[in-house]
Amino acid sequence: MVQMLDWIIALSWTARVLVWRRMLPLVPDLAQAGYPHAGPLPSMTVIVPARNEAENIAATLRSLLAAEGVALQIVAVDDRSTDQTGAVMEAMAQVERDAGRQMLQVTLPVTLEVLHVTELPPGWLGKTHAMSLAAQQATGEWLLFTDADVVFHRDTLRRALAYAIWSSADHMVLLPTILMRGWGERMMISFLEVLSIWAVRPWRVPNPKAKRDSVGVGAFNMVRREVYDGLGGWESLRMEVLEDLTLGRQVKQRGYAQRVALGVDMVNVRWARGAFGVVDNLTKNLFALFRFRPEVVLAVVCGVSLFTLFPLLACLAGPALWWPTGVMLIALSLAYQLAGKYQHFSAAQMLLFPAATFLLLYALLRSMLLASWRGGIVWRGTFYSLHDLRRRAGK
């Protein structure tokens, strides 16, 4: 029985990895290919919500201000920050205004506007509220929602818009490159990237019939203004912790055209500091990912353990179990190699996957238990009731 289960796991990994190796090249790579467009591109508004991001916000705004080939309105939102985030935004906006006064001709204008939020209304998460306010000020034909720690290549917005127009997209996601500094971040993020092959099939995202294959990423959620309005804006997702994923899911369910693209170093973000920084981020996200259902979290804990740790433990039962475990490890190595092409890590990170597994299991259980014990989640200094989050989950 153990041997049969071990072989099922090994062959499942192998089949999944081979499908990914064959199909992932079908996903457009904006760093490698350009898409033609006739005439000027439509205008864009980039919305950047930020709470206590004084360390990162300047780099984000500088990269957006350097964007080429796009008429751009940037709306930066200081969401109740207690550090110098708002002051940094205002200083950069003033510099941009002064520079604009000195220019005799502006063929593709780029403007930076700053909004300040001092209070959070009941029934809203801080981020969705900040983005909703900014969207009310937006003038662009396309809206790009991003984060305050993202750095863009100067050609990213032009390439993304050109591809969106060429492919008749209503919503487009450009998958970010995760910056990793130190072995802990590489260990955890590379493992999460490999596990993602069980959760999403990006080559099926454009298929309108593949309803479960949707995508949304907080670093780069780009949507037509009329589609955003048609979905009800962030008003309909006021208490969504994973608002990026939910927006993507709604786009797909409503029948709008969704697109996804790759592009190494086109959109860069350092998601966490160190292995336990990753664990802290997952603590906020994971219970929400599974719609605050403990039974689903426990099922995922069992599934992850079975597909990662069980084959290693099975080897203790004798040499007959070495073969299926070896096949699983080869498939896992190929998965790390494939994911590493797009995320700057090597297949050697596979050697640390048992430690990464234990930390992920810890994060899963911690996310569930802390939220249950507290009666909610705490994010960026604000408490959100689990009752309210559950009541609105899935709406």
Q: What is the DSSP string of 51-78?
A: SS-TTTHHHHHHHHHT--SS-EEEEEEE
Q: Contact, 314 vs 2, CB < 8 A? A: yes
Distance between CA atoms of 229 and 235, rounded to whole angstroms?
A: 10
Q: Which residue has the tokens 């430690």?
A: 355
Single pTM value for the model? 0.93
Tracing tokens 């969704």 back to the chain, one arrives at: 258
Contact 243, 146 (CB under 8 A): no
Domain 36-166+207-256 in CATH 3.40.50.450? The answer is no
- Contact partners, residue 222, CB within 8 Å, separation at least 6: 44, 142, 143, 144, 145, 160, 161, 164, 171, 172, 173, 174
Phi then psi for residue 171, to 5 deg, are -145, 135
* 8 Å CB contact between 366 and 297: no
DSSP state of 39: S
Q: Nearest CA to 187 among 394, 1, 360, 388? A: 360
Q: Is 96 exposed, middle or buried (0-12, 13-18, 19+ CB in 10 A)?
A: middle
Tokens of residue 92, six digits: 């950069």
Contact 236, 118 (CB under 8 A): no
d(CA 21, CA 188): 22
Tokens of 384: 């959100």
- From residue 199, alpha-carbon distances to 20, 59, 192, 195, 215 in Å are 12, 32, 11, 7, 10
Question: Any alpha helices (H) in the chain, and if so which ranges?
Answer: 2-23, 57-65, 85-102, 126-137, 156-166, 183-195, 225-230, 243-253, 274-289, 294-308, 310-314, 322-343, 353-374, 386-392
Q: For the chain, where do the domains classified as CATH 3.90.550.10 start and end?
A: 36-166+207-256
- Cα 111 to the center of its chain, rounded Å: 26
- pLDDT in the model for residue 107: 57
Each residue's pLDDT, cut to its tens digit, for the chain (395 residues) gives: 888 999 999 999 999 999 999 999 999 999 988 888 878 899 999 999 999 999 999 999 999 999 999 999 999 999 999 999 999 999 999 988 777 644 444 457 889 999 999 999 998 999 999 999 999 999 999 999 999 999 999 999 999 999 999 999 999 999 999 999 999 999 999 999 999 999 989 999 999 999 899 999 999 999 999 999 999 999 999 999 999 999 999 999 999 999 999 999 999 999 999 999 999 999 989 999 999 999 999 999 999 999 999 999 988 888 888 999 999 999 999 999 999 999 999 999 999 999 999 999 999 999 999 999 999 988 878 899 888 888 765 44
Measured distance CA(280)–CA(302) in Å, rounded: 21
Burial 12-51 (b: 16+ CB within 10 A, else e): ebbebbeebeeebeebbebbeeebebeeebbbbbbbbbbb
pLDDT for 104 equals 42
Q: Please give the Cα distance from 124 to 133 (Å, whole number).
A: 12
